[in-house]
C-alpha cells in the first residue's frame, strides 16, 4: 500500500517499508499476538540496517505500531507521521467487533473480511467515483493470509491506550486524516493534534480511512512538505 510513497526517494529520502509478519504473502511464523511483536520486528530491522534516527510513520494499525515503537525505542524516533489513526485503545464494543471479525476470517477467509471492511475503510467519494481504488484495496486485503489477518486483529484488540503518551512527544509530528474517515474520524486526529505540542494536522478531502490510496497526490504533497520543512 506504500508503493507510491517510495517515490519520495527521488527527493533524497531513504524510504523503508517493512513487510509485517504474514502480510503480502509472507509467512506468519512465529505468530503475532500483540502490537509489541510488530514493534520488535521494526526495531530489529532498524538495527540490522544500522539506522538510529528515523521518521516513523504508519496508517491505521501502522499508527498504533508507531506508538509502540515510540514506547519501546524512543531514541530511534526523529519524527512521527500518524495517518488515519487514534491514540485510544479499543472500547468494549470495538473488541466485540474484532471478535466477530476473527470468527469471520476463520470461517470464510480473507474475501469475507474484504467484503466486510471495504465499505468502512474507503470514503463515500472513493466508493462512488474511483472503482480502481476500491479494487486495489480489495486486492491488498486478499494478498494476506488468514493467519496474518487473525494476528493483526488480535494485536489491534489488545493494544494499550497511547493517550498518556501524547504529551510526552517532543519530536516533529504530522497528523493526517481523511475528511470522510469514519473509522478514526477527524475528531480523533484533532484530539491528538491538541495533545502533541507543535504537531501539524492535515485533513485530506474526499478520502476515507485509506487516505494515501484514495488521494495520493494530496497525501504525498503533505508528507513531502512536512519532511522538507520540519525534519
Domain containing residue 183: CATH number: 3.40.50.1820
**Is 62 inside any structural domain?**
yes
Provide the percentage of residues in the chain whose pLDDT is more than 90: 89
**Is 11 inside any structural domain?**
no
Question: How confident is the model at residue 50, as a pLDDT?
Answer: 96
Query: Is the pLDDT score of 8 beyond 80?
Result: yes
Q: Mean pLDDT, the chain, as a whole number? A: 94
Question: How confident is the model at residue 24, as a pLDDT?
Answer: 77
**Is 160 inside any structural domain?**
yes
pLDDT digits 0-9 by tens, 153-162: 999 999 999 9
Question: How confident is the model at residue 230, as a pLDDT?
Answer: 67
**Is 76 inside any structural domain?**
yes
28 confidence band (pLDDT: 50, 70, 90): low
Angstrom distance (rounded) from CA 153 to CA 72: 21
pLDDT digits 0-9 by tens, 112-154: 999 999 999 999 999 999 999 999 999 999 998 898 999 999 9
Question: How confident is the model at residue 29, as a pLDDT?
Answer: 63
**Is 12 inside any structural domain?**
no
Question: How confident is the model at residue 26, as a pLDDT?
Answer: 65
**Is 3 inside any structural domain?**
no
Question: How confident is the model at residue 33, as a pLDDT?
Answer: 81
Angstrom distance (rounded) from CA 43 to CA 67: 12
Question: How confident is the model at residue 22, as a pLDDT?
Answer: 77
Sorted by sequence, the CB contacts under 8 Å of residue 103 that are 6+ apart come out as: none
**Is 181 inside any structural domain?**
yes
Average pLDDT of span 58-85: 97
Among 81, 90, 77, 93, residue whose Cα is nearest residue 189: 81
Angstrom distance (rounded) from CA 130 to CA 84: 19
pLDDT digits 0-9 by tens, 168-185: 999 999 999 999 999 999
Among 163, 143, 166, 155, residue whose Cα is nearest residue 101: 155
Average pLDDT of span 59-82: 97
Task: Write out the residue range of the structural domain in which residue 35 sits.
Answer: 18-230
The structural domain count of the chain equals: 1
Provide the percentage of residues in the chain whose pLDDT is more than 70: 96
**Is 120 inside any structural domain?**
yes
Average pLDDT of span 188-202: 98
Question: How confident is the model at residue 21, as a pLDDT?
Answer: 83
Query: Is the pLDDT score of 27 beyond 90?
Result: no
Average pLDDT of span 82-96: 97
Amino acid at each position: 500500500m506504500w508503493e507510491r510513497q517510495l517515490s519520495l526517494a527521488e527527493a533524497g529520502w531513504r524510504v523503508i517499508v517493512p513487510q509485517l509478519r504474514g502480510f503480502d504473502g509472507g509467512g506468519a511464523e512465529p505468530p503475532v499476538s500483540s502490537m509489541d511483536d510488530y514493534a520488535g520486528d521494526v526495531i530489529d530491522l532498524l538495527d540490522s540496517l544500522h539506522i538510529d534516527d528515523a521518521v516513523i510513520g504508519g496508517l491505521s494499525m501502522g499508527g498504533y505500531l508507531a506508538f509502540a515503537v515510540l514506547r519501546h525505542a524512543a531514541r530511534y524516533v526523529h519524527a512521527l507521521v500518524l495517518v488515519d489513526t487514534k491514540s485510544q485503545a479499543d472500547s468494549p464494543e470495538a473488541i466485540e467487533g474484532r471478535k466477530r471479525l476473527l470468527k469471520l476470517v476463520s470461517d470464510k477467509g480473507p474475501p469475507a473480511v474484504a467484503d466486510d471492511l471495504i465499505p468502512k475503510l474507503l470514503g463515500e467519494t472513493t466508493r462512488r467515483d474511483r472503482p480502481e481504488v476500491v479494487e486495489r484495496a480489495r486486492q491488498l486485503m486478499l494478498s494476506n493470509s488468514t493467519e496474518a489477518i487473525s494476528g493483526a486483529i488480535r494485536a489491534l484488540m489488545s493494544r494499550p491506550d497511547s493517550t498518556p503518551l501524547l504529551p510526552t512527544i517532543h519530536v516533529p509530528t504530522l497528523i493526517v486524516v481523511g475528511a470522510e474517515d469514519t473509522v478514526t474520524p477527524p475528531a480523533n486526529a484533532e484530539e491528538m493534534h491538541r495533545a502533541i505540542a507543535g504537531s501539524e494536522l492535515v485533513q485530506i478531502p474526499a478520502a476515507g480511512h485509506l487516505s494515501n490510496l484514495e488521494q495520493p497526490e494530496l497525501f504525498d504533497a503533505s508528507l513531502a512538505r512536512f519532511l522538507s520543512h520540519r525534519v
